[in-house]
Each structure stands twice: as structure tokens, then as C-alpha cells.
Amino acid sequence: MRNSNYRKFWIPAFLLTAAMATMAGCSDGDKAGGATSPLSPPTVVSVVPVGGATGICQGAIVTATLSKAMNAATINTGTFKLAPAVTGTVSLDSTGFVATFKPSSPLALNTAYTATITTGAQDTFGNGLAADFTWMFTTATTACAGPIAFGTPGCGFGILAGSTVTNTSTVAAPTNVTGDVGVWAGTAIVGFPPGTLTGMLHAGDGVAQTAQGQLTTAYNTAAGKPVGTHLPPDIGGQTLFPGVYTTVAQPSLGITGNLTLDAQGDSTAVWIFQISSTLTTAAGKVNLQNGALPQNVFWQIGSSATLGTGTTMAGNLMANQSISLSAGVTLNGRALASIGAVTLISDTVNVPPCGP
């Protein structure tokens, strides 16, 4: 009799506990998906430009990443704005997490801006931010460097040399260039095949000659920019914002480890590296971050460049003399040598789109 009473008590208690758990699950809108259920409010998890950033280029685009997918109808110029007042367009990316404010015209020089996302910005369940989120950044005191013109046909070249192009890769591990390969005033292109390319070979022809002329103009334009931020002997491990950078205390530049180029949300941001003598990299990577593009990075090299084994490089290498890519290099950009040779060993060259 005692055991029977125990079982009667235990079964209702179990059912009650299960029912309460079910009700709790239904009240969790993140799990059940109910639009009117109580939910935690979305939060801003990261912004570009970062809070407190200085030297921001005038073409910057402002973005905020949120913790939840947002309702696009609530992400607009009323809920995402800049002060002093800036006109622009506001959009939400396809994931629903990244809101973007794109100014209609360049930001003012030497100006502190406050960006705000208000409580009117709501997630897909109708929950707004718990409080307005604000952050500040300051624009550069002088206009940032503009892009260096390098049009067709030159921008279609992944490899351009003055004397010879030599590729020593094998069929098993071929060099691949997503663009043209050419030489002028020399005529020798060796190693294609087994090297592959998506463009054409230009061995001492008029197209290569025109490209060399464009390279000369671009090289001289980069070299003629006013001296910029002084570079240390090695810039590995650093994060550099858009601007002109110059070797002053020493003629050569090294990159040991990873280098980050941070556009701070400005896809038009430009980097110009003025290197008096040589550029040498060890195994490492040049990371492009927050909208930085390889076609907007220019390495003006007074002598020669050597990319070490396994390096991932970004930008337009414009060397007065020669360029050497060691085994397994990935170049997201172009290797352009005015006078000397370009050599490759089982490398990948991804040619970016043409710039201005």
C-alpha cells in the first residue's frame, strides 16, 4: 500500500515538471521563434572605424556588427547616424548582422565624429537595443593619399619584367597567374608551360612596351609623393592604416611575420610604401582588413624585392630592378619590374581588378 501511494505521488510530480519545462521552452523566443515572446535585446559587438580611432580617411564607410539578425526596416538614417550631421545611405548586409552607413560625400578633415545606433534599431523579433550605442572617431588632418593610376593594358599583367621572366615550377606544382605575363625590352619568357596563366604571354611586343611605360609613370608618381611616416627596418607584426610610408633611417625594408593593413571601413583607402633599396619578406602574411583592397596598395622599390618561401603578399610590387618569388608564394597583386628579371617557383599570382 505504501509503495502504491508513492507511485501516485511521483507520476503527477514528474508530469508537472515536464509541463513547466515545456512552458519555459515556449517562452524562450530565441528557441521557439515567437515574434512577441520576451527576448534579450541585440547589442553592438564591433564597429569600424573602431572607437577612439584617429587619422581616418575622408572616404571612410562606417559599419557596426550586431549580436542578432536585425530587421532591415529598422536600420535606416533615423537609427544609424553621424554627428556632426552627415547625409548618406544606410543598409543591412545579407546576413542581417552588419549595418553600414555610407556618407554621400567625403567626411570633413580633422573632425571628431560621433556615430550612434539608437534603440529604434530592432532585431527580427522586434526587440530594440537596450540603450543608444555611441562611439567616436576623428578624421585625418590632411587628405589621405589618392590611388595611383595604372590602367589598361598594364593593370592586366600579373608579371611584367624588363629583361626576362623565368618560372622553374613543375607540372605537379605549377605556377599560376590569373592575368598576363610579359617582358619588354627583353623577349625571353621561360617556363610557361608548365606555368599556367589566364591571360596572354607578351614577349617583347607592343602591349608589354605600353605596360612598361605605364609602370614607369606609376613608379615615379609613388616615388614623388611627399615623405610619409618613417618606417622601421622591419614592419612585421604591425597594423598600418592608410597613408604614405617611407624608409628614411635605413634604405631597405623587411617584413618578418604578419603585417595588417587596416582600411578602417574605407574601400578606397590607399597605402604607398616608398622603399629606397630592397624589400625582403620571410614566411608571413600581409592581411588586408576592413575593406582594404590589393589594387590600392603600392610598393615602390628602389632596387629589388625578394618574397620568402610561403609568403602571402598583397599589392602592386613596382621594382626598379628585379623581383624574386621563392617557392610557394601567394601574391594577391602584381610583380612588376622595370629593368631586371622576375623569377618564380611554384607560385600563385592573383591579379586584382584594375584601379583608377
Structure confidence by residue, pLDDT tens digits, 9-43: 444 444 444 444 444 444 344 443 433 445 799 99
> What burial class does residue 2 get, using C-beta atoms within 10 Å of its C-beta: 0-12 exposed, 13-18 middle, 19+ buried?
exposed
- Contact residues for 84 (Cβ-Cβ < 8 A; gap 6+): 108, 111, 113
Give 339's contacts (C-beta < 8 A, 6+ positions apart): 162, 163, 320, 321, 322
- Residues of the chain under the 50 pLDDT cut: 1-37
pLDDT at 57: 85
Task: Tell me, yes or no, if the pTM score tops 0.85.
Answer: no
With beta carbons less than 8 A apart as the criterion, state whether 72 and 21 touch: no
* Grid cell locating 112: 571628431
Is residue 321 within 8 A of residue 342, CB to CB? The reply is: no
Spatial contact of 317 and 294, defined as CB atoms under 8 Å apart:
no
The CATH number of 44-139 is 2.60.40.1220
Q: Strand, coil or helix: what is 325?
A: strand
Q: What confidence score (pLDDT) does residue 59 get? A: 82
pLDDT value of residue 38: 58
Which residue spans of the chain are classified as CATH 2.60.40.1220? 44-139
For 242, other C-beta atoms within 10 Å of its C-beta total 25
Beta pairing, strands 253-255 & 279-281: parallel
Helix (H) or strand (E) holding 150: none
What does the pLDDT look like over 42-99, one tens digit per residue? Answer: 999 998 888 998 888 888 889 999 999 999 999 999 999 999 999 999 999 999 999 9
Residue 119: all three cell numbers together: 534603440
